[in-house]
Amino acid sequence: MTGSHPALTAHFPRWTVKGTAHHRTTCACCGHENLEHTVALAPLDLLGDASGPAVHFGPRCAAAVLHRPVAAVALAACHADMRAERKDAWARKIISLYGPMEFGTDQEMEAAWNRSGNASSSSWQAREFVTKFLADARAQLTDTTLRPTRPHSITDFQPFLVVLDTSNLRHHWCGVVPRENTEGFHTSARRDWTGMVSVTVAALDETSAVHVAFGRRGIAQYNAERGWF
C-alpha cells in the first residue's frame, strides 16, 4: 500500500466499514484502477462517530488500514451491505406510503400516518413526522456511497396489483401491472384469485406496494370512523 490519501494522515483512530461499492472501481489509497469493487470506509472520531465522508479503498488497502485480514474486511462489508439494503427497503416503503400525501390536507396526513402502524398523532405531528421521514428516505436512496442513486420519487412509481384476502389480514400475491394488455392482465388476475380483493396501487417496489395496499384500506377505515369523506 503506497497511498497518500489525506484521510490516512489525519490521525483518525478508527474506521468503520460502510459496505461494498461496485460502481467505484478505483482505489483512493493506491490509485489502482479497474478493480472489481472497492470497500467504503468512513473515519471515526475519538467518540466513535463518523467524522467525514467515506473513502473507497481496494480490498487490500482497506485491510491494511483496518489492520485486519482481507477476508475479515470482506465479511464486515457483506454485513454492512445487508444493513444498507434494509435501509433502502425502509426508504422505498416510506416514499411509497407518504410521498403522495406530502402536499395533502391535514386530515389526509393524519389518516395516512395513523393507519400505517404508527402511534396515534395529531395532524400537525403527523405532518412533522412524515416530512422528516421523507427527507431521511430520500437522503438514503440518493446516497451514492455504495451504489448509484436509486429511484426515490413518485415519478419513479410503478403500478402494482396486490391481491388481499377478504379479511385484509394478509396478501396473497403482488405483481407489476404491464403497460400493454392491461385489461387482459386484470381479467386473468380476477380469474386466478376469485373471492379475493384486488387493489391497484403505485409504489417503488413490490414490498412497498403491499404496504400501500394495506395502508389505503386502513385510511378508508380511519376516515369512516371519524366521518371524514
pTM above 0.95, yes or no: no
pLDDT digits (tens, 9 = 90+) for 212-229: 988 876 655 555 555 555
Q: Which residues contact 206 (CB under 8 A, 6 or more apart)?
A: 160, 174, 175, 176
Angle between helices 123-142 and 70-98 (to 10 degrees): 140
User: Over the stretch 60-81, which tens digit does the pLDDT of each residue have?
Assistant: 999 999 999 999 999 999 999 9
Q: What residue segments make up the domains of the chain, in order of their start?
A: 6-68, 87-142, 154-225
Please write the tens of the pLDDT for every residue from 94-125.
Answer: 999 999 988 888 877 877 777 666 655 677 78
What local confidence, expressed as pLDDT, does residue 226 receive?
56
